[in-house]
Structure 1
Amino acid sequence: MLKYANTQAVGFKNRVERVAIVGAGGTLGSHIATELLKTGKHTVTALSRKDSSNKLPSGVLVAPVDYNDESTIVAALEGQQFLIITMAPTAPRDSQSKLFQAASKAGVPYVMPNWYGGDIEDVKQGEDTLLGPGGKANRDEIETLGMQWTAMCCGFWYDYSLAGGEQRFGFDFDKRSLTIYDDGNTKISTSTLSQVGRAVAKVLSLKELPEDENDRSLTVSAFLQRGIYIKSFVICQNDIFESVKRVTGTTDADWAVSHESTQERYEDGQTLVKSGNMAGFSKQLYARGFFPDDPSDFSAKAQNELLGLPVESLDDSTKVGIALVKELQLRVERMAS
């Protein structure tokens, strides 16, 4: 049933003002928090473990929580309108469920779960990458608890994937080597970390609900129970390589280039995962995204213009990615999964 602002209780403010973020000091969460604060429309509260060493963006409020004490999470979420979850792959498997349960008890109406990647409507690719069933279960749990969700469908993070080692976009900057999947011409949807942050801020800066049945303006409610689709670049490995060479002032002769079959890489990665070695997860995930006959390209659904997102510079984004290399190498849990 559609809800309208003019049918809400007296005192209702038709906007999302209070946002809680899990992982506000992390790889993606810091970008989301920063972009939300830039709007001047939101109070951003970071749910943070007492022993966390993450540095938070300036202006973010802190609510310390203990994941083994639900009352601390409920207390941190009371009064919040929107919960955004960005978690490392090494987080305990039940962490999201604990957050969902606490959010429901605290009366949080909206949740953005820890899904920042592929098309949630592409069931086959979700099954192949092993991410789909878990993501669906999370969204179902949110609904069962009486809340509503929206999911960020942004493709692989461009800058992060470029910096994150050979198992992602194929680049090893220390060795100056590149593994090209098949012929390197398969195009996929990608988004920079900054673009994801901007998209979240754009959505949450909209009116929460239409004013009445005649209001056709874009609202937060239009994105509930569905994905938000964005992109920065629709790009192939060969395009990325050309950008890397421009940015680094190198030529083909400076790089050791090899080719591998995406199918073989995918199967190798899956074998590692099934044996308990999660180092194979990224390998199978990215290889599956570059399958020539079914790539991870959902750019036709992109809502960039609808949200007023900027057109980005590929080479500038490549520079950002290369600058991330050393930072990610210090984060062992990111490089190993």
Structure 2
Amino acid sequence: MSQNNYVKKVAIVGAAGTVGTYIVEELLKTGKHEITAVTRKDSQAVIPAGLKVAKVDYEDESTLVSALQGQEVLIITMHIRAPQGTQEKLIRAAAAANVPYVLPNEWSPDMADEAMSTDIILGHAEIATRKLIEELGKSSWIGMITSFWYEYSLGTGPETFGMDWKKRTWTFFDDGETKINVITWAQTGRAVAKLLSLPIQPEVEGGPSLSGYKNKFVYVSSYLLSQKDMFAVVCRVTGTKASDWTIAYEDSTKRFQDARALVLGGDQTAFVKFLYSRLFFKDGSGNFEDRRGLDNDVLGLPKEDLDASTKAAIDRAEKGLKYH
């Protein structure tokens, strides 16, 4: 087993963000990587211990290239509303610095489904990002398909999975039986760490490798659930009964179209409802486990405790915690 067959130097954008902290935590646990947090020169974010820090100016490409020199992997995690062009600047700098692998800011539903990805608008930008990486010809992209983060989504309000915990109301889309893949933040972190722990080239014929995922998607998940599955587990872990809840039903297509009209009209507060309702269409676009298969076993990801994850979501709802 050659140490030269494994990546060591990893740069991450968004190391102090919600999902970034989980990725960093899991990478550090492996003890295999030198991790550099790429952050704005004026950022006040508290970078986790054990990381190097590279301060950059996104208006000065040379600072980005310098930060990425010698890095073998660039992981990009940033808010969907980060300044336009930020990711493109990172991609171009990674190419200039000859970074072999880039994990773009995907962390998303199945972006290989062009109809769905176009419907939710995000697809255009993500396709352009992957195309740019390929055209520059210096890096390969690896797209992490995770779908929605379960703790955040369930606990954030009725715009996502239909649950309003404090009001004890739940809106089921269509019949509430459409299953979609979801993931926990911890499983996302583990997936990245396991992926980057693979040998760069297969060590046995047909064996798993990082290079085997060049310009491909990695499909990882924690649970495959319908809204009614979620409702059942919420009742179980909170001791509530169906009679304690006010239940409503809404057509998923109408919900999506109404929210889409608001978003296109400039009302960005409707974006979450717009995004989530599309994944519950009866076309199965939210269920990539059945359509694509999962890489969980290849990466050695554990089975998780659905009750514990649901309790974490309820705790977030109680405290009114938000994504950051």
TM-score (norm: length of structure 2): 0.93
Of 219, 226, 229, which aligns to 1:236? 226
Please tell me whether residue 265 in structure 1 is matched to residue 255 in structure 2.
Answer: yes
Structure-1 residue corresponding to 2:201: 209
User: Would you say 1:102 and 2:78 are equivalent positions?
Assistant: no
Of 267, 280, 283, 2:270 maps to: 280
Larger CA deviation: 263-272 vs 320-329: 320-329
Q: Structure 1 residues 64 and 327 mapped into 2: Cα distance closer, same or farther (>3 Å)? A: farther
Matched position secondary structure for 1:325: helix
- The one-character-per-residue Cα deviations of 1:47-89 (angstroms, maximum 9, x if unpaired) are 1123333333332222111212222211111111100001102
Distance 1:143 1:266, change over 3 A: same
Q: Which residue matches 1:9?
A: none
Q: Percent identity?
A: 46
Alpha-carbon distance in structure 2 between the residues aligned to 1:206 and 1:295: 29
Partner of 1:221: 211
> Which of 120, 127, 139 in structure 2 is aligned with 1:129?
120
Q: Deviations over 1:172-231 (max 9, x none)?
A: 2232322211111111111111111111111100111235xx633211001111000111
Distance in 2 of aligned mates of 1:197 and 1:182: 33
Quote how far apart the aligned CAs of 1:329 are: 4.2
**Aligned residue number for residue 50 of structure 1:** 41
- Say which of 167, 175, 184 aligns to 1:175: 167
- State the distance in 2 between where 1:96 and 1:198 align: 23
> Any unmatched runs of 5+ in structure 1?
7-11
Give how far 1:327 is off: 6.8
Does 1:144 find its partner at 2:135? yes
Query: Residue 153 of structure 1: which of 129, 133, 145 is its match?
Result: 145
Q: Which moved more, 1:294-303 or 1:141-150?
A: 294-303
TM (normalized to structure 1)? 0.90
CA contact (8 A) 2:11 2:68 kept: yes
2:51: which partner in 1?
Answer: 60
Where structure 2 has 5 or more consecutive residues not aligned to the other structure, the ranges are none
2:295: which partner in 1?
303
Equivalent-residue separation in structure 1 for 2:101 and 2:168 (angstroms): 44
For 2:274 and 2:239, the matched residues in 1 are separated by 31
Partner of 2:183: 191
2:267 match: secondary structure: coil
Once the two structures are superposed, what CA deviation does each residue of 1:80-103 show, in whole Å capped at 9, x if it has no partner?
Answer: 110000110220110000101111
1:225-278 per-position Cα deviation (integer Å, ceiling 9, x unaligned): 100011111100011111112222222233232221101110011101111111
**Equivalenced residues, count:** 321
- Superposed CA RMSD: 1.9
